[in-house]
């Protein structure tokens, strides 16, 4: 226990925040705080809302931060920039990696430039011009996580309502919806963990399907894809992650079409760590306990 304290010093877990994903962040944070305490790490829990964060971090004299803020400032690079200025080491990707991953359209353009497969998409405004794209479409905010404000649209008559909901969260994009299996690959310390096939009972893997047990979403890990495809998805996940300047830990989401073509959808730099979350499930399959996984994530701040 003593060597853990010496190794990491005083660790602040930043969670909560005031993004649309606050509730999930609170749940992730509590699970992570408990895991660290169980291993004797000196932890201080900070609900990172409002303008007091700088004062709290300075007063608490923390040695490093484990960021569990989903969406908003915690995932778009703002908190990372602040910690950089305060010279406090932190977990996960740097400011640039977070900002690029959070902006789904810029991430997509970068991936396209690298020749990686990703569905066709475009930014839309109140005119909702989706010319050049084929239905069904995903209408979603450019910079939100947890599928907040995301809609599947099968025909033109459904566009307006979907756009208006997504637009509450900022800039909106339309993306061709790949019919097929939803797969995800978690990355920790440059290791691509076993892929997970997400099988939602609802129309797609939306906020409800992600965070409520009653939604009946099934998770398959191992995902059941062939070994060749498993190797391919892991390599692509790592390449896509690095291309965005991401590091430490995160998750890359894919769609697999019926003809076994993989499509990159998005990267997450602070994925969920609740009891229903995907990274812990993949880590368990790999042979890591939840507590071991949390320490690996914390080590990305060293």
Helical pair 278-286 and 290-299, crossing angle rounded to 10 deg = 100
pTM as predicted: 0.96
Are residues 208 and 155 located together in one domain of the fold?
no
- Summarize pLDDT for 91-138 with one digit per residue, the tens: 999 999 999 999 999 999 999 999 999 999 999 999 999 999 999 999
Q: 146 catalytic, yes or no?
A: yes
- Summarize pLDDT for 212-264 with one digit per residue, the tens: 888 899 999 999 999 999 999 999 999 999 999 999 999 999 999 999 999 99
Q: Tell me the two tokens of residue 218.
A: 């099934």
Are residues 192 and 295 located together in one domain of the fold?
yes
Q: 272 catalytic, yes or no?
A: yes
Residues 176, 272, 300, 301: which is the catalytic one?
272
Residues 19, 25, 93, 146: which is the catalytic one?
146
- CATH code of the domain containing 294: 3.30.470.20
Residues 149, 211, 248, 250: which is the catalytic one?
211
CB 143 within 8 A of CB 170: yes
Q: 211 catalytic, yes or no?
A: yes
Across the range 5-24, mean pLDDT stands at 95
**Looking at residue 117, what is its pLDDT?**
98
E-only strand ranges, the chain: 10-15, 42-47, 64-67, 121-124, 137-141, 151-153, 172-176, 181-188, 191-192, 196-199, 218-220, 249-256, 262-268
Q: Count the alpha carbons within 13 Å of 130 in the hemisphere toward its beta carbon.
A: 27
- Number of other CB atoms surrounding residue 155 within 10 Å: 9
Are residues 125 and 109 located together in one domain of the fold?
no
Q: 248 catalytic, yes or no?
A: no
Are residues 111 and 145 located together in one domain of the fold?
no
- State the Cα torsion 123-128-131-137 to the nearest 10°: 70
Are residues 108 and 67 located together in one domain of the fold?
no
Domain boundary among 155, 176, 197: 176
Residues 16, 17, 19, 21: which is the catalytic one?
21
Residues 64, 145, 253, 301: which is the catalytic one?
253
Residue with tokens 């990159």: 264
Are residues 43 and 104 located together in one domain of the fold?
no
Are residues 15 and 107 located together in one domain of the fold?
no
Are residues 104 and 242 located together in one domain of the fold?
yes
Q: Residue 229 contacts by C-beta under 8 Å, 6 or more apart in sequence?
A: 256, 260, 262
Q: 134 catalytic, yes or no?
A: no
- Nearest one of 26, 95, 93 to 240, comparing CA atoms: 93
Are residues 113 and 224 located together in one domain of the fold?
yes
- CATH code of the domain containing 132: 3.30.1490.20
**Looking at residue 231, what is its pLDDT?**
98
Domain range for 71 is: 2-91
Residues 147, 206, 268, 300: which is the catalytic one?
268
Are residues 191 and 280 located together in one domain of the fold?
yes
Are residues 83 and 224 located together in one domain of the fold?
no
Residues 90, 266, 277, 300: which is the catalytic one?
266
CB 166 within 8 A of CB 201: no
Q: How many domains does the chain have?
A: 3
* CA terminus-to-terminus distance, the chain: 18
Q: 253 catalytic, yes or no?
A: yes
- Nearest one of 141, 174, 11, 172 to 71, comparing CA atoms: 141
Q: Distance (Å, rounded) from C-alpha 121 to C-alpha 202?
A: 24
- Nearest one of 158, 142, 160, 140 to 150, comparing CA atoms: 140
Are residues 112 and 150 located together in one domain of the fold?
no
């Amino acid at each position: 226990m003593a060597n853990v304290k010496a190794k990491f010093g005083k660790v602040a877990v930043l969670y909560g925040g005031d993004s649309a994903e606050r509730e999930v962040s609170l749940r992730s944070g509590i699970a992570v705080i408990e895991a660290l305490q169980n291993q004797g790490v000196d932890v201080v829990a900070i609900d990172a809302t409002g303008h007091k964060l700088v004062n709290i971090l300075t007063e608490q004299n923390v040695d490093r931060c484990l960021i569990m803020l989903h969406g908003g400032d915690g995932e778009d690079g703002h908190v990372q920039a602040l910690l950089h200025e305060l010279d406090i080491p932190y977990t996960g990707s740097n400011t640039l990696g977070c900002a690029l991953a959070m902006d789904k359209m810029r991430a997509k353009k970068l991936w396209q430039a690298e020749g990686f497969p990703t569905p066709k998409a475009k930014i839309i405004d109140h005119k909702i011009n989706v010319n050049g794209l084929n239905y069904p479409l995903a209408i979603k905010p450019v910079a939100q996580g947890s599928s907040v404000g995301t809609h599947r649209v099968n025909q033109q008559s459904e566009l307006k309502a979907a756009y208006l909901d997504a637009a509450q969260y900022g800039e909106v994009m339309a993306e061709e919806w790949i019919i097929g299996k939803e797969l995800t690959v978690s990355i920790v310390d440059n290791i691509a963990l076993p892929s997970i096939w997400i099988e939602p009972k609802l129309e797609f893997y939306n906020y409800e399907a992600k965070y409520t047990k009653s939604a009946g979403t099934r998770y398959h890990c191992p995902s059941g894809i062939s070994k060749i495809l498993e190797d391919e998805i892991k390599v692509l996940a790592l390449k896509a992650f690095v291309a965005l300047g991401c590091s430490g830990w995160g998750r890359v989401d894919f769609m697999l079409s019926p003809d076994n073509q993989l499509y990159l959808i998005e990267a997450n730099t602070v994925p969920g760590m609740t009891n229903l979350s995907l990274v812990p499930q993949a880590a368990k399959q790999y042979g890591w306990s939840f507590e071991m996984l949390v320490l690996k994530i914390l080590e990305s701040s060293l």
